[in-house]
Chain A
Amino acid sequence: MGFNKNVGKTIAVYSFVIGILYAIFGILEILVGWGDLIGTGVSLIQPIELAGVNVVPPDVFGGIMLIIIGAVYLTGVRQQARGKREGLSFLLVGSLLAAIFFGVYVVILLANGVGYVFQFEDWLEWIWLDDLRPGIWLFLLALPGAYLALTKKEWRE
């Protein structure tokens, strides 16, 4: 039971790409943040900047969580490629986790905005672009998958 194999292969490729992206950015967050974790302050790789903005925050545990999301996507790839409906579960839950992390990071960004507006001491030098982490923009790539997993009810039969 499931869906057309060609459709399955397309979904599998999509899940694979999203899963790998989450895993890669998770690993990068770990490598950049490793120095902060062990107290040396020296990253294992150079900070990755785009137009002067840190694209990858130094966050070891945040990185681990991205890897977990990636692992959920990747676990379902084989079943999706075979056209099995069970594969859709991994796409759906991966997207759900991605949405939860997206939501949490956006709320934190907004809360930091409140701190900045009130000009509290810890937020004087806050820049909103610094809070625009991979957990936020990777979710935009995950959105189509979430939509398909929820709406294509015929794939579940």
Chain B
Amino acid sequence: MKAKEILGEDPEIVLADKRYDLISTILATSLVRGAKKWTLTDMLDKVFIHKTLGIPVFIALFWAMFRFAYDASAPFMEIIGLFFEKLAEASAGIPNEILASLIGDGIFGGLGFILTFIPPIFFLFLGISILEDSGYLARAAFIMDKIMFKLGLHGRSFIPMLLGFGCNVPAMMATRSIEGEKDRLITLLVNPFISCGARLPVYVLIAGAFFGSMAPTAVWSMYLLGIVVAILLALLLRKTILRGEPAPFIMELPLYKAPTFHGSVIHMWERGVQFLKKAGTYLLAGAIILWFLSTFPWGAEVELSYTGQIGHALAPIFSPLGFDWRIVASLVFALLAKEIAVEALGIIYAVEGVSAIEGALVASYNPVIGYTLMAFTLLYIPCVATIGTMKKESGSWKWTIFQLVLTLVLAYVVGLIITGIGAILGYA
């Protein structure tokens, strides 16, 4: 702190400036310049970090990645779905009615349904790994830094934001590399708006139900919406409660290299295995709790079960968004982990397979409600693990509660905007 006061700016920046000054002085007297060799990295950077083309190319690459993750995974989802459907059918033969329901509807219907989303999650992580291993993601941070700095966000914030595409928990831990309390706090507050892998099953299910061939684009738009909301919110925070100038961002860009199949698959696995671990713990527990709350009092319709009662109690608050008790109940349970929203819809609708649930959703809601639900899932209160990380990393309950309220209010407002636009387009 003292060094910063004496120097007038971040000591690391001053040291870096002095270091480069010294290097320049030595080189000026000792180096005879020849013709500079133009490497492949120079060639690629000419376009990838081009002032006009850089961002469109970034958008195109991300769109291709989502197209790949969504469309190429569809038949493999079908295969896994079919497998769990058969298991659920087989469990109907269990003599004990309650046990048969737990295994068939709770575990195979709920947990099994969420596991059908393994292919798009792994395919998305493969895409991210390829971009990362090639050296492109560092360029993405570089081109975004220019915009982010103008908007008041620290350039280094983009790295935790990129990590957030996998999971927000390690992404928030990665903010430790950001100097400056305000810069770090802003990054922590906006990080949950970056779509983690857990939200992907919700997007894939809803987009598949309502948007047909436009589904990959609808999913991609959620990722863009998350980035836009995060950046705008950072700007708002910087202009209001967390005033100040962001510190300059110095980053060495790695050389480009062709990603290897082996390396990319390993990185995909490292990210994807988190989902599998979650499936064996949180999601399994969630499925059992959900099954219990949706099945009891025993013999009652789902609407009259405990889940139905929770959904009905909160539904009036969300009715302006077009959400009924089913959606509200699924969103409540998704606080444990976002994927549970999908698990909950599987259990509440009590139909097997992605196509059947998509059909049930289309019969109950319109595309605007579907899109609102996607946006709400993206923006509202993050999962319990993320909330815990926010408390730990910020060291403050005040900021943690602020984040909870902020995300909920923002999700509601964005939901109302989408609903309003939908009404203008003629969707009641």
Contact = CB atoms under 8 A, between A and B. Distances in A.
A111 B75 contact: yes
A157 B39 CA distance: 10
A58 B212 CA distance: 12
A157 B35 contact: yes
Contacts of A43: none
Interface in A1-36: 1, 36
Given A85-B38, A100-B61, A108-B68, A90 B73 contact: no
Interface stretch (B10-18, B40-48, B307-315, B338-346): B40-48
Interface residues of A, number: 42
Given A65-B64, A111-B74, A112-B75, A36 B214 contact: yes
Contacts of A96: 44
Contacts of A69: 60
Nearest to B220: A61
B46 A65 contact: no
A88 B53 contact: no
A37 B371 CA distance: 14
Given A72-B53, A90-B47, A104-B67, A122 B74 contact: yes
A66 B59 CA distance: 12
Nearest to A149: B43
Given A93-B48, A120-B78, A121-B355, A65 B60 contact: yes
Contact of A111 (B47, B48, B72, B217): B72
Interface of B: 35, 37-38, 42-44, 46-48, 50, 52-53, 56-57, 59-61, 63-64, 67-68, 71-76, 78-79, 212-214, 217, 220, 355, 367, 425
A-B residue pairs, 10 tightest by C-beta: A89-B46, A115-B75, A93-B47, A111-B72, A108-B71, A61-B217, A156-B38, A114-B75, A89-B43, A68-B60
Given A93-B43, A156-B37, 11 more contacts: A1-B35, A39-B425, A71-B53, A89-B43, A92-B47, A93-B47, A96-B44, A107-B72, A111-B71, A114-B75, A118-B79
